[in-house]
Structure 1
Amino acid sequence: MPLALLISSHVAASTVGGGASAPVLNAAGIDSMLVPTVLYGRHPGWGAPGGGAVASGLVQSMLDAIEAQGLYAGIDLVLTGYFADPAQVFAAAAAIDAVRAARRDEAGANEPDRIQQDRPWIVIDPVLGDAPDGLYVAPPIALAIRDQLLPRADLVTPNAFELGYLTGRPLTDLGSMLRAARALECPALVTSLPRRGRIGVMYCDGDEAWMVTHERCPHAPKGTGDVLTAEFAAARLGGLAPKPALERAVAATVSLVMRANELGSRELPLVAEIAARRDPLVTLEAEAL
């Protein structure tokens, strides 16, 4: 059974962060361990969230306990999301290094880079901000994610604002977006890209680039980026190539938003609408870039 380590937010009443990633991965047959960076009652977008940040020492202590249990050698996926202070980011970076070392020791050799059960896959969701508001984490956190986590990533999943921030490049057209994504020097899944009056999600690496577009979804609940990242990671770990994984992940996420709108739900109905994720309500095809 595949195993994932999630280092992200826990929000009791909102389907975001680790609370969105874990159910998606679990439904795909991937067990998960969530180390929370914050404990909130609700998404800050609804008002005062309650709760607060998890002290970096507690984050480190939880990671140490997971390692002491001997679980690092069995981790197939590390997925990071929201961080509340730079020390948490450094703890996550050290954990990634330790997971990779444990898997190498378990295998007895450093295997070639590929998504298989013989090595962990590191997915960095750089939760920094969004247009038009800009950063919603402190600049030292954003810089720590850029400097500590991006160099360790096997996949980076920024939105358009985050892509521009991380690369320092203006995003004026599709070509500039593709060049910026490739400047990250690792595979990237980029969301919230404008494309012919629609919304695009782009995957690119050194060999290929694909984009899926869909109509803008009215009143999309929070957490769609978390769901999309987890759906794509689950599809890739399940053996799908980037193009079909992209198509499936976007279709599943759009279907979930459609059902939320039909139900009048302000949160993503991840569990209630698991059938819509397994058998999406829409079929989307990626175009080559």
Structure 2
Amino acid sequence: MSLLLILGSHVAGSRVGGTLASLTLAVSPYQIDPVHVPTTLLGRHPGWGPPGGGPVPADVFAGMLEGIAANGLFALVDAVLTDYLASPEQISVAARAIDSVKAANPRAIVLVDPVMGDAPGGLYVAPDVAEALMTHLVPRADYLTPNLWELGYLTGTSPLGLDAIAQAAASLGKPGLVSSVMVDDQIGGLFVDGASRWLATHPCLDHPPKGTGDLMATLFLGYLLQARPAPDAMAAALAGVSYVVACAQAWRAPELPIIAAGPQAWTAKPLALTQLS
């Protein structure tokens, strides 16, 4: 069994953020136990309108992590997933927690999903949150999972084409899985680790529910915990995302159907991988 610490949003009525990650792990065949410390408490995704609720105060967020640490759980954490963080103060708390986990278990995997914005809307966190994320969390990451817009923001570029995307990702100095990469009528991910570049795509489906990036990051980290090579983990994760989105559209589901489709997402046939020169 693995223990995965999730630092991300709790959204009661939507399948996004840390809520989605917890549910996805709960239906995994790999016995991955989630420990979710919420950064926000919302009623629904803001894309539906006013979400209700609000951010968790940084001192409450810190106190929850202190309780987890006091129970000796940091030494048992096999991976940390950071998702949406609401304030620079929360990010400072998250950074300290990551340092404590790494001190207790240096083999723990840290995946930073730099949730900041997306096309076409752009930045949807405050600029000081984005700056704190880049300053404190990106350097602590073992893996990054930005979408294409976030990659551009992190690198101060507007990468177009696979070569430019790969160069931008490599400039961050961390292994990264870039999502929302379009190739003709396909969409998928580009995994970049130094000079190593791998592409996996699937047919693009119109108007997917919110949360596909959160689902991809969770599945990807789950497969990494099974010691899969990162490109293979990407291919399997994106296959799972494609499966769940297809189910949502077939069932006319407004949210990702994680409980109904999640178990099969974990066993979906991995997408074909293409190694780029």
| TM-score normalised over the length of structure 2 | 0.96
Contact in 2 for aligned 1:124/1:155 (Cα 8 Å):
yes
Task: Report how many residues are paired.
Answer: 274
Q: Which residue of 1 aligns with 2:58?
A: 56
Shift, 1:172, TM fit = 2.0
Q: Which residue of 2 aligns with 1:188?
A: 176
Stretch of structure 1 that moved more, 205-214 or 133-142? 205-214
* Equivalent residues in 2 for 1:195-234, closer than 5 Å: 195-234=183-222
- Cα deviation, 1:244-285, whole Å, max 9, x if unaligned, reads 2111110111000000101110001111113431332x6520
Does residue 246 (structure 1) correspond to residue 234 (structure 2)? The answer is yes
Contact in 2 for aligned 1:8/1:80 (Cα 8 Å):
yes
Shift, 1:220, TM fit = 0.4
Does residue 15 (structure 1) correspond to residue 2 (structure 2)? The answer is no
Shift, 1:197, TM fit = 2.9
2:115 partner SS: coil
Shift, 1:207, TM fit = 4.8
1:203 partner SS: strand
Q: Which residue of 2 aligns with 1:109?
A: none
User: Identity over aligned residues, as a percent?
Assistant: 43
Q: Which residue of 2 aligns with 1:101?
A: 103
Between the aligned partners of 1:148 and 1:278, the Cα distance in structure 2 is: 32
Between the aligned partners of 1:179 and 1:91, the Cα distance in structure 2 is: 31
Between the aligned partners of 1:183 and 1:207, the Cα distance in structure 2 is: 11
1:78 partner SS: strand
Contact in 1 for aligned 2:170/2:195 (Cα 8 Å):
no
Q: Which residue of 2 aligns with 1:85?
A: 87
Between the aligned partners of 2:7 and 2:262, the Cα distance in structure 1 is: 23
Between the aligned partners of 1:95 and 1:275, the Cα distance in structure 2 is: 30
Contact in 2 for aligned 1:246/1:286 (Cα 8 Å):
no
Between the aligned partners of 1:163 and 1:273, the Cα distance in structure 2 is: 29
Between the aligned partners of 2:160 and 2:19, the Cα distance in structure 1 is: 34
Q: Which residue of 2 aligns with 1:69?
A: 71
Does residue 163 (structure 1) correspond to residue 158 (structure 2)? The answer is no
Shift, 1:32, TM fit = 1.0
Contact in 1 for aligned 2:61/2:90 (Cα 8 Å):
yes
Between the aligned partners of 1:191 and 1:278, the Cα distance in structure 2 is: 18
Does residue 173 (structure 1) correspond to residue 175 (structure 2)? The answer is no
* Equivalent residues in 2 for 1:103-182, closer than 5 Å: 103-104=105-106, 119-182=107-170
Stretch of structure 1 that moved more, 259-268 or 25-34? 25-34
Between the aligned partners of 2:183 and 2:36, the Cα distance in structure 1 is: 35
Stretch of structure 1 that moved more, 266-275 or 79-88? 266-275
Contact in 1 for aligned 2:114/2:150 (Cα 8 Å):
yes
Contact in 1 for aligned 2:200/2:235 (Cα 8 Å):
yes
Shift, 1:47, TM fit = 0.5
Between the aligned partners of 2:270 and 2:134, the Cα distance in structure 1 is: 34
- Cα deviation, 1:52-72, whole Å, max 9, x if unaligned, reads 110011001001111111111
Contact in 2 for aligned 1:9/1:36 (Cα 8 Å):
yes
Between the aligned partners of 1:283 and 1:262, the Cα distance in structure 2 is: 21
Contact in 1 for aligned 2:237/2:270 (Cα 8 Å):
no
Q: Which residue of 1 aligns with 2:273?
A: 286
Kindly provide the amino acid, as one letter, of the partner of residue 32 in structure 1. Answer: P
- Cα deviation, 1:36-81, whole Å, max 9, x if unaligned, reads 0100000000011011110011001001111111111110000001
Between the aligned partners of 1:123 and 1:247, the Cα distance in structure 2 is: 17
Shift, 1:214, TM fit = 1.4
| TM-score normalised over the length of structure 1 | 0.92
Gaps of 5+ in 1: 105-118
Contact in 2 for aligned 1:202/1:210 (Cα 8 Å):
yes
Shift, 1:243, TM fit = 2.4
